[in-house]
Homo-oligomer: A and B are copies of this chain.
Amino acid sequence: MSQSEILTPTYEIGTTSFYESHVRPVVVEFLGTTILVFLVCMFPATSSTIYQSAFVYGFATLFLIVSFGDISGGHFNPAITLGCTVAGALSIPLSVCYFFAQILGGMLGAAFVRAVYPLKIYKTIVGGSTVLNIMQGMKPGWGVMTEALLTFIIVLTFLHSVVDKRSKLAPLSVGVSVAACSFVGAFPTGGSMNPARSLGPAIAFSVYSDYVDDLIWKYHYIYWVGPLAGTLFAALMYRYSKT
């Protein structure tokens, strides 16, 4: 794979200016992650509606990739960005910019949730934070394993469906993989698979709520360690299967 291919973000063909090849993609990743995290965190998930949130997550992923995939590749997730970088489909400087854009976007999206709800509702849904289900006996190790396996699945799907460009249905494929993994992960860990989606509401909830749920921060590392492990495994598997 040539250097120029690595420097070009996925989907991008024949870009010329620095603005189009670097500024717009980063701005779009920021905007897309803001929208994604806002929608997922705003959904008033309770134990009876928890599975509907999987549709929000999957649908938002789908329309964001269709809308912005040709500009930035459609990541909106540090795990996907890391996977593309390790797989050789994104340059390292651009991936670092993507990472910070996604983290900031996640924080802004989660902050907007506070802007649309009164404090009572905001606290009821814990600001949309992902929390380990310790009530049901989940322990951190299981949480890390859950997030690692589910992130492995969506990163592998992204690499095979979008990066390989084999199918017109790529956005649908990634969208339903996120929905399916969010369905199964909703109960044990909240089904994050995206550090930006977990960090944003954790910070926003700590800032905007007078009551801080210690559990959010105590087990927050799960949403970094799990996705990191799953992504590395998926990206390395993809890379070596190609050569």
On A, residues with C-beta under 8 Å from B are 24, 35, 38-39, 42-44, 49, 51-56, 58-60, 62-63, 66-68, 70, 112, 115-118, 120-121, 136-139, 142, 145-146, 149, 153, 156-157, 160-161, 166-177, 179-181, 183-184, 187-188, 241
Q: Would B180 and A67 count as touching, CB distance under 8 A?
A: no
Given A56-B180, A149-B116, A179-B59, A24:B241 Cβ within 8 A = yes
Given A43-B184, A149-B38, A180-B55, A161:B67 Cβ within 8 A = yes
Q: Would B117 and A179 count as touching, CB distance under 8 A?
A: no
- Complex alpha-carbon distance, A219 and B205, angstroms: 29
When C-beta atoms are compared, the residue in chain B nearest to A177 turns out to be B63
Taking A62-B176, A118-B139 as known contacts, 10 extra A-B pairs with beta carbons closer than 8 A to each other, sorted by chain A number, are A42-B184, A55-B179, A56-B180, A63-B177, A116-B142, A117-B138, A117-B188, A121-B136, A121-B138, A121-B188
Q: Would B120 and A137 count as touching, CB distance under 8 A?
A: yes
Given A49-B51, A142-B117, A167:B171 Cβ within 8 A = yes
When C-beta atoms are compared, the residue in chain B nearest to A65 turns out to be B173
A44 neighbours in B (Cβ, 8 Å): 184, 187-188
The minimal Cβ–Cβ distance linking A87 to chain B, given in whole angstroms, is 14
Q: Would B117 and A63 count as touching, CB distance under 8 A?
A: no
Q: Would A118 and B146 count as touching, CB distance under 8 A?
A: no
Q: Would B142 and A66 count as touching, CB distance under 8 A?
A: no
Q: Would A160 and B117 count as touching, CB distance under 8 A?
A: no
Given A49-B51, A66-B161, A139-B118, A56:B183 Cβ within 8 A = yes
Q: Would A176 and B142 count as touching, CB distance under 8 A?
A: no
Q: Can you spell out 9 A-B residue pairs with CB atoms less than 8 angstroms apart?
A: A44-B187, A49-B51, A55-B183, A56-B180, A63-B161, A67-B161, A112-B149, A115-B149, A118-B138
A167 neighbours in B (Cβ, 8 Å): 66, 171
